[in-house]
Structure 1
């Protein structure tokens, strides 16, 4: 059984690693620096994570475990929901999840752009499952005639992932060029409204847009 001290030590190491990986990059951060930032012995990192590589794997896995579970929670209610409504709920919750874990999100999205054995494993598990879950929503929408039958899943995923990841891959562009602070709650809430309009025109360009709120702010789902 994990003791509270064990959990606290692991949490401090994880929080320190996220901060340093964002500031200096994964390759530019040493295990000693992480231990110093977390105020723990270097041996703790080897004991709990089997080194820096194991720590990286833990961070990425934790992020995607929460990400996929959140999407799955909406899929469970898909039978009783309009497909577009379900999709917009998912998108809103992804934006909220990313905002709540913004430092980890930024680090993970940067790592996903780097070709490595770990990232290829992630692609074959978490990201393939993500595509499958979105495919379920799209297929339901097509079968119930609320999503255009000609919509390409590949094209949809490329555009959706680009929109979701951009604020974390290019935060300096938002702050220095567009004068937007992506770390503020208003950003993802406003961004959701704009993103929902873009998705509507992509999914069914000839139909009037749904209310982008769709009671999302009040939903406890």
Structure 2
């Protein structure tokens, strides 16, 4: 089963109290473990509420279905990825250092939340609109950073959207290989990726 929705369509029901926000947070965190461990089709609402330590009725206070909390979870994870990358870098870094720091933040996040890869991969089939929005918004942020680097005179003037998608693709698969499948030092992997951005891969004439 797949769901379709507008990218800016509200997901779930917003809590009105601090207690409600804590309950919603518990449900989303539990859903990440449930979907990450069992996959969308084998996961269950009762499994989510059991992990969250909440009553079944609490689930339906915020979500109408398993599809809806899955969609909310993808949106939540996208926000956490954005926050992890932002928190890993300081203000006013040079453009290439900004990319290196952002990747370190993502690699650390992926190492702590390995379930994100399974959840996002399944999202392509469960909710294609959320899947596309996740990657589109990530590429847009990278593109904006590249544009700022161009504006400051630190990057080539011909960098565009496709370059942002290429960088994102590199980052995603480095995360899979070195944060999910293995545990490599994020700083080392980010420096390797940054060297590709700095120098390219073509052999230079001596």
TM-score (structure 2 length as normaliser): 0.69
- The residue correspondences of 1:25-36 to structure 2 (distance < 5 A) are 25-36=39-50
Residue 159 of structure 1, aligned match among 157, 166, 189: 166
CA separation in 1, counterparts of 2:89 and 2:49?
40
Partner of 1:90: 102
Q: CA RMSD in A?
A: 3.7
- Indicate conservation of the 8 Å contact 1:20/1:34, yes or no: yes
Residue 39 of structure 1, aligned match among 27, 50, 53: 53
Partner of 2:120: 109
TM-aligned CA deviation for residue 26 of structure 1 = 0.8
- For these two proteins, the number of residue pairs brought into alignment is 189
| Change in 2 beyond 3 A, CA 1:83/1:15 | closer
Partner of 2:74: 60
Unaligned segments of structure 1, at least 5 residues: 175-180, 207-221
TM-score (structure 1 length as normaliser): 0.65
- Indicate conservation of the 8 Å contact 2:45/2:66, yes or no: yes
CA separation in 2, counterparts of 1:173 and 1:97?
10
| Change in 2 beyond 3 A, CA 1:92/1:74 | closer
Partner of 1:141: 149
CA separation in 2, counterparts of 1:130 and 1:28?
28
2:192 equivalent to 1:197: no
Q: Which has the higher contact order (CA 8 A, sep 6+)?
A: 2
SS of alignment partner, residue 34 of structure 2 = helix
- Indicate conservation of the 8 Å contact 2:143/2:161, yes or no: yes
SS of alignment partner, residue 42 of structure 2 = coil
CA separation in 2, counterparts of 1:172 and 1:91?
11
